[in-house]
Structure 1
Amino acid sequence: MERIFVALADKYIEMSGWQMKEQVNQVSDTAFMAAAYRAMETNHPNAIFHDPLAEKLAGDRGKKIIGNLPKQAFIGGWSVVIRTRIIDDFIQNAIVDGVDTILNLGAGLDTRPYRMELPESLRWIEVDYPHVIELKETRLFGETPRCRLERVRLDLADVDARRTLLDAVASQSKKVLVLTEAVTPYLSEDAVALLGTDLRSHESIGYWAVDYFSPASYEYRRRSGMSDSMKMAPFLFEPKDYFGFFLRIGWTPKETRYFATEAERLGRPAPFPPATRFVMRILGFFASPERRREMKQYAGFVLFEPAKTEEQAIAKKHEAQ
């Protein structure tokens, strides 16, 4: 049965045309791609969010990146749209829960401070490479954010500078939500562990929003050719036990939203062509209940909160065994 499943999965990849050309030359390029996809969603007749500044930020570069992808590469754009809405919801709920500061690490070309309904008193801090911040400030000149927006030019790989920033933000805030949208996948496990440990050391940091990819997705990326197409900006973070990894560094999930489930709720299922939908139905027919659940939980986003000391101790003990 497992051989049948793998064969059908390979056929699905073949039919989907996931043999992408190399388009992304560095991690920062993914920000242009994401902005272009948000601009496309804004023009959708049933848009699930509106980002009127996305097109200005994406520019010709963003359009060229997604324009040179094969037509079948729609799944990437769809996932950007769904994750955007998920994170929007996380933010709104966190503000209701008392968050007074949003710390967006690796902010890229995000425009939430401008497009979301936010309290004027909310402090929003964007952190990214100097060239990303400079481009953003140039293209958004004259636009007015809806909250107290600050920008910090900083390479997150500079651990000392990052810790200095975290110390300052944490000491000036009552409750912080940290965003790392499309950041952790490009970091090594050691780097994510160090970042998570640094965040956990501050009592005022109450939430951390992080990308989720299942172990099955790692193999899919390799089979589909996606890894080759992104070899200049490869995914490095592939823990065997995702939730166990975060628990060991002090974080437990408060809420997990999977793309497939969220897309159903929003009425925006992945726009697979008919042939691909047929293959997926066959996959579901042959798959066990556990496998079908894995297919539903392929990727998503997790809102973490600090784990209790005893939970973390149990996780470390289990790892040692």
Structure 2
Amino acid sequence: MDSRKINLSEEKETLLITLLAKAMDSRTKNPILSDKKAEEILNMIDYDFEKINSFGNEIMVIRAKQLDTWLQEFIGKNPDATVLNLGCGLDTRITRINPPSIVQWFDVDFPEVIELRKSFFSNHEGYQMIPSSVTELEWLKKIPNNKRAMIIAEGLLEYLSEEAVKELLNRLTSHFPHGQIAFDIMNSFAIQSGKEKLEKTTGAVHKWMVDDIQDVDKLDPSLKRVTNLSVFKSKSIHNLPFKTRFLYSAMCLIPSFRNMMRLLLYKF
């Protein structure tokens, strides 16, 4: 197929940062995700990827791997689950997980993102792409709520206000009877450190920063925290080259660095 010219901006454009990270991982000697589909998509896109090739690719890949692991564990226990992948971008999680046919999987993102996504994915039985901002919430009415749900929000909530995060969580836990939700949070050190480069490169702005994990716990009383994991403590760190592992280990002695990005898993 012809190369797809990208005309996205702000937080929509950041989907290319995570796509690049996953594609580059597939080229390494010891890949963490082995995401060949991401590289395939990357090669079909007309975009200057060089300008976004300095956003901590390894960390984004480790984040994705940990979320994949939690999702696989959930599907293992609930093979007829409903899966929501919020702010999906061009993420290839559906192909990485390859869920049982009785899983109902929904990928949700802005209409222009889904339009781009349709160049590489097609709706089929058990899989549907939904074009909507996740905060508009009318889209949720399209999702059946008779099964346990696993909700993934990868690299998404940082772009929302705390009030919008609270409303989204409340609506999700009200819609589904039971399930889990997994997402990442960034502290003020991480957001302030990358603010200028992110805005200059894509125009995107991170709005929600979390320094005290209990602030997240209070957003929805029906959510019970299962795991709070620094991305630097994920098992996938061991796949990285020795020099990179050593650097991260040394920097993790500093709390503000260690908690730059945390992965949270809640049940409800």
Residue in structure 1 matching 2:58, options 73, 78, 82: 78
Corresponding residue number in structure 1 for 2:135? 157
Q: What is the aligned residue count? A: 259
- 2:215 aligned with 1:244: yes
Secondary structure class of the residue paired with 1:300 = strand
Q: Partner amino acid for 1:101? A: T
Q: Quick one: percent identity of the two aligned structures?
A: 21
Would the aligned equivalents of 2:82 and 2:105 in 1 still touch at CA under 8 Å? yes
Q: Partner amino acid for 1:236? A: K
Task: After TM superposition, give the deviation of residue 136 of structure 1 in Å.
Answer: 1.6
Corresponding residue number in structure 2 for 1:267? 239
**Greater RCO, CA 8 A, separation 6+:** 1
Secondary structure class of the residue paired with 2:127 = strand
Residue in structure 2 matching 1:295, options 238, 244, 257: 257
CA distance in 2, matches of 1:268, 1:80: 13
- 2:96 aligned with 1:115: yes
1:10-29 equivalences under 5 Å are 25-29=9-13
CA distance in 1, matches of 2:56, 2:237: 19
Task: After TM superposition, give the deviation of residue 91 of structure 1 in Å.
Answer: 0.6
CA distance in 2, matches of 1:228, 1:271: 30
Secondary structure class of the residue paired with 2:175 = coil
Task: After TM superposition, give the deviation of residue 198 of structure 1 in Å.
Answer: 0.8
CA distance in 1, matches of 2:172, 2:266: 11
Q: Which has the higher helix share?
A: 1
Query: Segments of 4+ in structure 1 off by > 4 A?
Result: 59-63, 269-274
CA distance in 2, matches of 1:122, 1:273: 36
CA distance in 1, matches of 2:225, 2:85: 19
CA distance in 1, matches of 2:190, 2:236: 20
CA distance in 1, matches of 2:240, 2:191: 24
Distance 1:118 1:164, change over 3 A: closer
Would the aligned equivalents of 1:35 and 1:62 in 2 still touch at CA under 8 Å? no
Q: Partner amino acid for 2:204? A: A
Corresponding residue number in structure 2 for 1:11? none
CA distance in 2, matches of 1:270, 1:55: 25
Would the aligned equivalents of 1:32 and 1:57 in 2 still touch at CA under 8 Å? no
Q: Which runs of 5+ in 2 are unaligned?
A: 1-7
Secondary structure class of the residue paired with 1:121 = coil
Corresponding residue number in structure 1 for 2:5? none
Task: After TM superposition, give the deviation of residue 230 of structure 1 in Å.
Answer: 5.3
Q: Partner amino acid for 2:206? A: F
- 2:16 aligned with 1:32: yes
- 2:70 aligned with 1:95: no
Corresponding residue number in structure 2 for 1:314? none
If the length of structure 2 is used for normalisation, what is the TM-score? 0.82
Distance 1:301 1:240, change over 3 A: closer
- Point out the structure with max Rg over C-alpha: 1
Q: Which runs of 5+ in 1 are unaligned?
A: 1-23, 285-290, 307-321
Would the aligned equivalents of 1:35 and 1:109 in 2 still touch at CA under 8 Å? yes
Corresponding residue number in structure 2 for 1:4? none
Distance 1:230 1:187, change over 3 A: farther
What does the per-residue CA deviation read over 1:175-214, in whole Å, with 9 as the maximum and x for residues that have no partner?
0011111110100111001101111213424111111223
Would the aligned equivalents of 2:14 and 2:202 in 1 still touch at CA under 8 Å? no
Distance 1:271 1:176, change over 3 A: farther
Secondary structure class of the residue paired with 1:108 = coil
Would the aligned equivalents of 1:260 and 1:269 in 2 still touch at CA under 8 Å? no
In terms of mean alpha carbon deviation, does 91-100 or 225-234 score higher?
A: 225-234
